[in-house]
Structure 1
Amino acid sequence: MPLRELLGDEVLDLLLERSRDGAGGLRLTGQGSMLGELVKAVLERALEAELSAHLGYGKHDPAGHGSGNSRNGKIGKTVQTGVGPVRLAVPRDREGSFEPVLVPKRAGRVSGGLDDMIISLYAHGMSVRDIQHHLRQIYDTELSHEAISNITDAVLSEARAWQSRPLEAVYPVVFLDAIVVKVRDNNTVQAKPAYLAVGIDTDGEKHVLGIWLAKTPLDAATAGEGARFWASVMTDLKNRGVRDILIACTDGLAGFEDAVHQAFPHTTVQTCVVHLIRNALRPVARKDAAAVAAELRTIYTAANAEAAFDALAAFADGQWGRKYPQAVRVFESAWDRFTPFFAFTGPVRKLLYTTNGIESLNYQLRKVTKARGHFPGDDAVIKLLWLAIINIEDKRARERALRKEKTGKRADQPARLIEGQRTMGWREALNELDLAYPGRIR
């Protein structure tokens, strides 16, 4: 039965009257509000039921005579809830053995809605101080910095479990990219890259494999991101069940190639073509950018590596190559990592051409992290990024479901940004990868 019918008009009218403020408006949240009164009534009723179950008899029940324990009045207690502070009358027993479950002794808040709200605000990028201000301003709820931190820390174990979960044995393609965050490390605040890896499994579904931050050695000023760091990342992947990666797409990460080949000797390292184009256009004047980009297109759209080399040589000897030799050097320095994708046809080339998929996710994550001054440690970064990834994916799924409900049509956008998203054209790409790397996929 709907709550509206259960309460009745008389009760609702009384709640409305008691919840009006001095200006005649309604106070839906905060102390003495309509929702606060309802929460108070429900909690006190539940506490009475808990005490009856503890004693073994109900209030005013003759069965309690001579039982050895009985009700012993009530004690006032204010708890913080999702609708603001609520003043409760908590029942007691004479022996003092009653331990409420719903509102435990010495607990200053009722979990559930309030905890979920705080975690949601945290996942959207609000700092602990911002959350304190929000709860005080909207709900008239006071929570200490430590209490809010403890609530958000409760999900850290889940984040660590996710970070160490078993992975697939083979990933045909893995993309790596980073966002830069400010973290306190060795008693100093420094900018550190947080690397994310997105893998495409043999079914063509994308998954975020993990988040890694480089540690800062005690005798160094910045985080070590070289071969040792990447060796630890590869070891982590192997310990979680990965035995082979066919192609790893990155943006020229220092020390990455040696580390990945040590762990996975037959992995092909492919530099993101879009990153190469951006780096090549960086020294180019804005008025010349369109013309230079058109010339560069002849390089990365060539039929094969030899034709691409000829196109680069022609560009270097031409007007724009002589004017912007830095653009030529960008391709020359990354040539061995740029050319592997020429061995494939359109479906695989399109797949390897860019790391835009993971960059789209990182763009969303930057919107969450940019409001922070700095993080107190690496665990805080992983906790927030994990919460943000879940929140972003759930938001996309809700938006898609809402569009489908309104239009009755299947939405064009995927339900997820990354996690579980099916790779377009995967069947053709998988067949070609299977021929190029026989026996390593199936």
Structure 2
Amino acid sequence: MTQLNFTINSDKFLEEVLQSDLNTATKGIITALLNQVMEAERDSYIQASAYERTGNRQDYRNGYYERDYTIKAGTITLRVPRTRSGEFSTDIFQKYQRMDQALVMSMVEMVINGVSTRKVTNIVEELIGDSVSKSYVSKAVEKIEPEIQSFCGRSLTHATFEYLFLDAMYIKVNENHHSVQKAVYIAQGVREDGFREIIGFMVADVESTKTWTEFLQNLKARGLTTPKMVISDGHQGIKAAVKTEFMGTKWQRCVVHFLRNIISKMPRKNSKQERDTLKRIFKATTKQHAIEYRDTFFELVKDNAKYDAAVKTLDEGFFDAIQYTSEPHIAQKYLRSTNSVERINREIRRRERVISFFPNVRSAERLIGAVLLDIHERLQAAPYKLYDKDNTNE
């Protein structure tokens, strides 16, 4: 009988399979392949294949145990490998389910706290393949909360972060039987080597100078040094907090938000030339060019009172919006806006929509922390940088 041998990229395979629809992939195939992945994990841990004699062996095989495992469209039964020491564990049951666990826990808490609907209950049971209970929540929390707390409180002394992206989004939380808005603060740092990290988040009642200051102070207490530049939207609370906590740091106002603000004050009709001239300002790669393009815009609209408000807004925020021109050309296009951190917000929002509103702040912190931890790990594993100083072709 011919023996078929094949190799797979286990991380990529797991990512695709665990998100797959069982209508297009049979349970038997998925079960067999997942069993093979776990077998390879055990071989790697032991540092020896089956029946292989080697001086590098770290442990010995000790059979299997069965475990049901639920993915998006059903439950499968896997043969989980064991070792004699009992110290081996597979990554499958943790690495690829953290976000789903957090999402399910938030939804379960809605059920338990009496603020759910039949639809929510059905979704929960579909996700975990069983009815829900308080004991389920307790066990899940015991596994995931320490990991999230460790991530959120980790030291930041391992690297120098040159650039800091800050942004806030709003979520709804149940508080005293009322749905109230809470602000979620998120910080993404860019290291000297160009790689990004999620370095902090916080849920607060409001977005203000006081809370932004507290957020930055927490990052500093964990070891964050003064960055070269902070990039954010035009919220005055951020600007004031940065000025207080990071003396000498440049503040870059997000060009996308700033342009949107200026254009909202311009006539909608017959203004294409003016809009194009305005946008040209923030494509400049030097401060002098930006000033020249700004003056060209001023000259173009100087006799039209309909542009007075736009001119005033541009004039007041101009220098805050061109701070990026002082940085290396290779990094400028990434430092002009908060796009990098807003993509993170969209990841959170995609899961938050499923819940509609959180049953409490702790539930919000748990789900958001799990999403951010997953994004952080992907950023660390990614083969690309936000920008590459060594790439002379750009």
Give the TM interval when normalised to the shorter protein.
0.5 to 0.7
The structure-2 alpha-carbon separation of the partners of 1:150 and 1:340, relative to structure 1 and needing over 3 Å to count, comes to: same
| Residue 367 of structure 1 pairs with residue 350 of structure 2 | yes
Distance in 2, matches of 1:280 and 1:247, equals 23
Distance in 2, matches of 1:134 and 1:114, equals 20
2:146 maps to 157
1:389 pairs with 356, 364, 372, which one? Answer: 372
Q: Is the 8 A contact 2:209 2:237 kept in 1?
A: yes
The structure-2 alpha-carbon separation of the partners of 1:372 and 1:254, relative to structure 1 and needing over 3 Å to count, comes to: farther
Q: Is the 8 A contact 1:247 1:267 kept in 2?
A: yes
Aligned length: 300
| Residue 147 of structure 1 pairs with residue 135 of structure 2 | yes
Distance in 1, matches of 2:94 and 2:327, equals 51
| Residue 342 of structure 1 pairs with residue 352 of structure 2 | no
| Residue 279 of structure 1 pairs with residue 269 of structure 2 | no
> How far is 1:349 from its partner?
2.1
**Residue by residue, what CA displacement relative to the aligned partner does 1:212-258 show, whole Å, maximum 9, x if unpaired?**
122x3xxxxxx2x2221122112111110112211000111222223
Query: Secondary structure in 2 aligned to 1:334?
Result: helix
2:100 maps to 121
1:423 maps to 386
Distance in 2, matches of 1:360 and 1:118, equals 21
2:247 maps to 265
Distance in 2, matches of 1:363 and 1:192, equals 17
The structure-2 alpha-carbon separation of the partners of 1:426 and 1:306, relative to structure 1 and needing over 3 Å to count, comes to: closer
Q: Give the aligned residue type for 2:100.
A: L
| Residue 240 of structure 1 pairs with residue 222 of structure 2 | yes
The structure-2 alpha-carbon separation of the partners of 1:124 and 1:289, relative to structure 1 and needing over 3 Å to count, comes to: farther
TM-score w.r.t. the length of structure 2 is: 0.64
Distance in 2, matches of 1:328 and 1:280, equals 8
The structure-2 alpha-carbon separation of the partners of 1:120 and 1:311, relative to structure 1 and needing over 3 Å to count, comes to: closer
Query: Secondary structure in 1 aligned to 2:236?
Result: coil
Q: Is the 8 A contact 2:274 2:300 kept in 1?
A: no
Q: Give the aligned residue type for 1:121.
A: D
Q: Is the 8 A contact 1:119 1:151 kept in 2?
A: no
1:411 maps to none
Q: Give the aligned residue type for 2:352.
A: T
The structure-2 alpha-carbon separation of the partners of 1:182 and 1:117, relative to structure 1 and needing over 3 Å to count, comes to: same
> How far is 1:346 from its partner?
2.2
Q: Give the aligned residue type for 2:336.
A: Y
Written as runs of structure 1 = structure 2, the 5 A alignment for 1:11-26 is none
1:182 maps to 172
> How far is 1:113 from its partner?
9.0
Q: Is the 8 A contact 2:167 2:232 kept in 1?
A: yes
Distance in 1, matches of 2:386 and 2:94, equals 36
Distance in 1, matches of 2:291 and 2:307, equals 18
Query: Secondary structure in 2 aligned to 1:244?
Result: coil
Q: Give the aligned residue type for 1:127.
A: M
Query: Secondary structure in 2 aligned to 1:424?
Result: coil
Q: Give the aligned residue type for 1:204.
A: G
Distance in 1, matches of 2:266 and 2:136, equals 49
> How far is 1:383 from its partner?
1.2
| Residue 298 of structure 1 pairs with residue 298 of structure 2 | no
Query: Secondary structure in 2 aligned to 1:166?
Result: coil
1:25 maps to none
Written as runs of structure 1 = structure 2, the 5 A alignment for 1:10-409 is 82=69, 120-123=99-102, 127-128=107-108, 129=111, 132-134=121-123, 136=125, 141-144=130-133, 146-154=134-142, 155-168=144-157, 170-185=160-175, 188-214=178-204, 216=205, 223=206, 225-284=207-266, 288=270, 290-302=272-284, 304-319=286-301, 322-391=305-374
Distance in 2, matches of 1:252 and 1:386, equals 25
Query: Secondary structure in 2 aligned to 1:237?
Result: helix
Q: Give the aligned residue type for 2:367.
A: L
The structure-2 alpha-carbon separation of the partners of 1:328 and 1:123, relative to structure 1 and needing over 3 Å to count, comes to: farther
The structure-2 alpha-carbon separation of the partners of 1:173 and 1:319, relative to structure 1 and needing over 3 Å to count, comes to: same
The structure-2 alpha-carbon separation of the partners of 1:246 and 1:139, relative to structure 1 and needing over 3 Å to count, comes to: closer
Unaligned runs of 5+ in 1: 1-27, 30-34, 36-79, 86-111, 217-222, 398-413, 430-442
The structure-2 alpha-carbon separation of the partners of 1:277 and 1:166, relative to structure 1 and needing over 3 Å to count, comes to: same
Q: Give the aligned residue type for 1:164.
A: G
Q: Is the 8 A contact 2:274 2:297 kept in 1?
A: no
Query: Secondary structure in 2 aligned to 1:270?
Result: strand
Query: Secondary structure in 1 aligned to 2:138?
Result: helix
**Residue by residue, what CA displacement relative to the aligned partner does 1:310-357 show, whole Å, maximum 9, x if unpaired?**
533442443496434443333233234223223345223223112211
Q: Is the 8 A contact 1:280 1:330 kept in 2?
A: yes
TM-score w.r.t. the length of structure 1 is: 0.57
The structure-2 alpha-carbon separation of the partners of 1:287 and 1:204, relative to structure 1 and needing over 3 Å to count, comes to: same
The structure-2 alpha-carbon separation of the partners of 1:149 and 1:347, relative to structure 1 and needing over 3 Å to count, comes to: same
Overall identity of the aligned pairs, in %: 22
> How far is 1:264 from its partner?
1.9
> How far is 1:296 from its partner?
0.9
Q: Give the aligned residue type for 2:195.
A: E
> How far is 1:172 from its partner?
0.7
Distance in 2, matches of 1:175 and 1:360, equals 12
Q: Give the aligned residue type for 1:159.
A: I
> How far is 1:307 from its partner?
4.7
Query: Secondary structure in 2 aligned to 1:191?
Result: strand
Answer with 1 or 2: which has the greater Rg: 1
Q: Give the aligned residue type for 2:389.
A: W
The structure-2 alpha-carbon separation of the partners of 1:346 and 1:319, relative to structure 1 and needing over 3 Å to count, comes to: same
The structure-2 alpha-carbon separation of the partners of 1:124 and 1:258, relative to structure 1 and needing over 3 Å to count, comes to: same
Query: Secondary structure in 2 aligned to 1:184?
Result: strand
Q: Give the aligned residue type for 2:329.
A: G
Query: Secondary structure in 1 aligned to 2:151?
Result: helix
Unaligned runs of 5+ in 2: 1-26, 32-66, 76-90, 112-118
The structure-2 alpha-carbon separation of the partners of 1:285 and 1:82, relative to structure 1 and needing over 3 Å to count, comes to: farther
Distance in 2, matches of 1:246 and 1:317, equals 34
Distance in 2, matches of 1:150 and 1:210, equals 25
